[in-house]
């Protein structure tokens, strides 16, 4: 047995204190001490950005070329740099012309220039500060253009090791700015001062680096200390002032998504990606419009709207990883994605972490992507038509919808001359009456005929094999949405029909969903403008969603296109396939079935079943 001897007298009191301290530390979790929660999120540094870092390290010019020299007789000319990530390392390949020799009587004597490709493997590592990615050269090889090692590559290899490797090993991908920005963002999305707060106990740092097919994946780590146990209490019912503030923040969310999506979509050439981004915008606007009038809105509904929108948006933004934002390639898109993913991960930790959507938080998140172009506020929501937004939706900016509003003097025209008016003018302020319902519906049918004949102004977007579906689709939609009415009330006091969610007029178009694309005031005041907008929206959902996503490839063929188009028109792009999903709520299934009955009738005869809306 080994006996420990103390050279100094043992202080029994100190020993007891040390033992007690050890026991406290051992049983700290049992004593209710809060454990540090690690939050990890990925940030992808794409190959394009890594290529720009290489360009800077090797000082390549605008044509992607550089010449590195030892002396007049020994130099390398580099060009055509390519980054790839085939395995656990990054690979840099460059075209190389090596000139090696010695100066003899003032002349260079030696081998002729060697043309080949230089292949270098780079292994990433985390810097000591935890805020940057560094790179170590782990392999170097010179190959001929056919991919085989060159027989005379040794001098060139020595030259490459001398001139290239030191520069590459100074490469740095600095992530301190994104880390600091995400730190601030997390704190901004935490509960307001005075409420139980989550403490950011450890600032963000780079935990590890992983080579990824798209480039380099940096795993960011944040340390969170949750609020004390039992600090989460049920939220009280919102009072009117709180409800108004909550709705203003929903407007901010709408504005935030609109600006981000439109800004990015305008920079893309990939039409599918553009349309998928716009679908997220439309779905989010539909949900916000519904939430603003819901009697069952809870305090965390806004949080859910944000997280659902981010869940749909983030994979689309990841597809835009080669997008150039502002000037050149930078990390803003990657940082923006990582920040949103950090918020989603924070929410997944549980309600005690109290993720709270705020206007300040949304503005801070927008600045990560848009920098100085991020507005001070996303409200008030702009209502004017934006030609760039119309163009994104495939509606030509110079295409004017019908403008046949009734002139101010039309009330002077005797009713006997009403036939001189256009259908839109005649219908202005007209509330259908049962005793003249046939005349009223005939007038609406003429309006629909006129609108369909005038659309489109140029090349039809609907493929020829589906054009026969479009006329009854428009008529059945107008009937299902409004019973072919633009006004309700009395003849003396007509009012434009509106749904609780703000859907307007005959085609029941939600102004806040389609703001920027259509003039909200004209949707209200001009029935022909309302109908023309509805036709364009149906065309958008038919061509850009139902056909593009192949709804006609399922059983029932072409008929699926009609049902899918109306479902999207009624609820947003995410509702496209609800007509064939088993989990679709009965309420929505009833709406779709009623529309389908109307369509089938109007496919054979462009006239509705009057008893569906007007009791005879």
Tell me the per-residue pLDDT of 316-336, one tens digit each, with 9 for 90 and over.
988 876 555 544 567 888 999
Domain 420-612: which CATH class?
mainly alpha
- Give the C-alpha separation, 232 to 212, whole Å: 39
More reliable by pLDDT, 242 or 413: 242
- Give the C-alpha separation, 548 to 541, whole Å: 9
- Give the C-alpha separation, 203 to 200, whole Å: 7
User: What are residue 104's DSSP bridge partners?
Assistant: 107
- Specify the DSSP element, H or E, that contains 74: strand 74-84
User: What are residue 503's DSSP bridge partners?
Assistant: 510
Tell me the per-residue pLDDT of 207-249, one tens digit each, with 9 for 90 and over.
999 998 888 999 999 998 877 665 555 555 667 787 777 788 8
b/e burial code for range 225-240 (CB count within 10 A of at least 16 → b): ebbeeeeeeeeeeeee
Q: Given this model, what pLDDT does residue 132 score?
A: 96
- Give the C-alpha separation, 425 to 404, whole Å: 7
Asked if 73 contacts 346 with a C-beta cutoff of 8 angstroms, the reply is no
Residue 433 has pLDDT above 50, yes or no: yes
Q: Given this model, what pLDDT does residue 294 score?
A: 66
Please provide the CATH number assigned to the domain covering 36-226: 3.15.10
Give CA separation, 470 vs 138, 559, 606, in Å. 62, 11, 12
Residue 551 has pLDDT above 90, yes or no: yes
Longest CA pairwise span in the chain (Å): 122
pLDDT, average across residues 550-558: 92
Q: Given this model, what pLDDT does residue 198 score?
A: 60
Tell me the per-residue pLDDT of 446-469, one tens digit each, with 9 for 90 and over.
999 999 998 876 678 999 999 999
pLDDT, average across residues 413-421: 57
Residue 376 has pLDDT above 80, yes or no: yes
Mean pLDDT, the chain, rounded, equals 84
Percent of the chain with pLDDT over 90: 53
Q: Given this model, what pLDDT does residue 400 score?
A: 52
Residue 112 has pLDDT above 70, yes or no: yes
E strand segments, 213-320: 215-225
Asked if 291 contacts 306 with a C-beta cutoff of 8 angstroms, the reply is no
- Give the C-alpha separation, 418 to 31, whole Å: 86
Q: Given this model, what pLDDT does residue 247 score?
A: 80
Residue 6 pLDDT class (50, 70, 90 cuts): very low
Tell me the per-residue pLDDT of 27-59, one tens digit each, with 9 for 90 and over.
444 434 456 788 999 999 988 889 889 999 999
- Give the C-alpha separation, 452 to 532, whole Å: 8
Q: Which residue has the tokens 């081998």?
A: 111
Give CA separation, 523 vs 379, 415, 483, 517, in Å. 22, 26, 17, 11
What pTM did the predictor assign? 0.84
- Give the C-alpha separation, 609 to 321, whole Å: 52
- Give the C-alpha separation, 302 to 356, whole Å: 9
Q: Which residue has the tokens 């593009």?
A: 548
Helix axes 586-604, 467-482, angle to 10 degrees: 120
Contacts of 133 (CB under 8 A, 6+ apart): 45, 124, 125, 126, 127, 172, 173, 175, 206, 209, 216, 218
More reliable by pLDDT, 491 or 399: 491
Contacts of 62 (CB under 8 A, 6+ apart): none
- Give the C-alpha separation, 567 to 575, whole Å: 6
Residue 21 has pLDDT above 50, yes or no: no
More reliable by pLDDT, 6 or 491: 491
Asked if 271 contacts 556 with a C-beta cutoff of 8 angstroms, the reply is no
């Amino acid at each position: 047995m080994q006996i420990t001897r103390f050279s100094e007298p043992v202080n029994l009191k100190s020993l007891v204190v040390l033992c007690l301290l050890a026991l406290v530390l051992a049983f700290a979790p049992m004593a209710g001490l809060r454990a540090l929660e690690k939050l990890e999120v990925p940030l992808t540094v794409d190959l394009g950005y890594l290529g720009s870092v290489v360009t800077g390290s090797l000082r390549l010019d605008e044509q992607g070329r550089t010449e590195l020299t030892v002396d007049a007789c020994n130099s390398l000319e580099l060009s055509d740099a390519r980054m790839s990530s085939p395995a656990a390392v990054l690979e840099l390949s460059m075209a190389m012309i090596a000139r090696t020799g010695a100066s003899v009587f003032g002349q260079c004597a030696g081998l002729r220039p060697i043309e080949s490709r230089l292949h270098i493997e780079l292994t990433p590592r985390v810097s000591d500060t935890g805020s940057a990615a560094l790179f170590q050269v782990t392999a170097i090889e010179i190959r001929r253009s056919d991919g085989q090692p060159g027989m005379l590559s040794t001098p060139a290899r020595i030259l490459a090791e001398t001139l290239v490797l030191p520069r590459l090993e100074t490469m740095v991908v600095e992530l301190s700015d994104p880390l600091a920005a995400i730190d601030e963002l997390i704190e901004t999305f935490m509960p307001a001062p005075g409420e139980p707060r989550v403490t950011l106990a450890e600032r963000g740092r780079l935990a590890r680096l992983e080579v990824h097919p798209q480039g380099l994946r940096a795993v960011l780590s944040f340390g969170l200390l949750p609020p004390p146990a039992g600090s989460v209490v049920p939220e009280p019912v919102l009072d009117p002032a709180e409800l108004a503030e909550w709705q203003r923040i929903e407007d901010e969310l709408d504005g935030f998504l609109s600006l981000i999506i439109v800004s990015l979509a305008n920079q893309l050439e990939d039409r599918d990606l553009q349309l998928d981004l716009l679908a997220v915008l439309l779905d989010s606007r539909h949900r916000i419009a519904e939430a603003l009038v819901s009697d069952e809105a809870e305090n965390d509904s806004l949080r859910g709207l944000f997280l659902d929108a981010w869940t749909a948006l983030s994979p689309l933004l990841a597809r835009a990883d080669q997008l150039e934002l502002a000037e050149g390639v930078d990390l803003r898109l990657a940082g923006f994605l990582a920040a949103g993913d950090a918020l989603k991960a924070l929410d997944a930790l549980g309600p005690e972490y109290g993720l709270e959507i705020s206007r300040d938080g949304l503005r801070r998140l927008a600045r990560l992507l848009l920098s100085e172009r991020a507005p001070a506020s996303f409200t008030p929501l702009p209502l004017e038509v934006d030609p760039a937004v119309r163009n994104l939706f495939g509606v030509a900016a110079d295409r004017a919808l019908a403008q046949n509003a009734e002139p101010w003097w039309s009330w002077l025209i005797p009713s006997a001359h009403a036939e001189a008016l256009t259908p839109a003018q005649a219908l202005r302020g007209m509330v259908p009456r049962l005793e003249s319902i046939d005349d009223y519906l005939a007038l609406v049918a003429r309006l629909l005929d006129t609108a369909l004949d005038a659309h489109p102004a140029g090349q039809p977007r609907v493929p020829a094999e589906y054009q026969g579906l479009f006329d009854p689709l428009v008529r059945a939609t107008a009937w299902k949405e409004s019973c072919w009415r633009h006004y309700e009330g009395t003849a003396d006091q007509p009012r434009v029909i509106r749904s609780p969610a703000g859907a307007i007029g005959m085609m029941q178009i939600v102004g806040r969903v389609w703001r920027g694309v259509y003039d909200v005031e004209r949707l209200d005041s001009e029935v022909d403008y309302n109908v023309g907008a509805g036709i364009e929206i149906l065309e958008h959902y038919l061509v850009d969603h139902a056909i593009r996503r192949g709804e006609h490839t399922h059983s029932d063929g072409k008929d699926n296109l009609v049902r899918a188009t109306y479902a999207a028109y009624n609820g947003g792009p995410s509702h496209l396939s609800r007509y064939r999903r088993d989990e679709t709520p009965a309420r929505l299934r009833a709406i779709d079935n009623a529309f389908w009955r109307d369509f089938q009738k109007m496919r054979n005869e462009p006239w509705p079943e009057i008893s569906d809306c007007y009791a005879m």
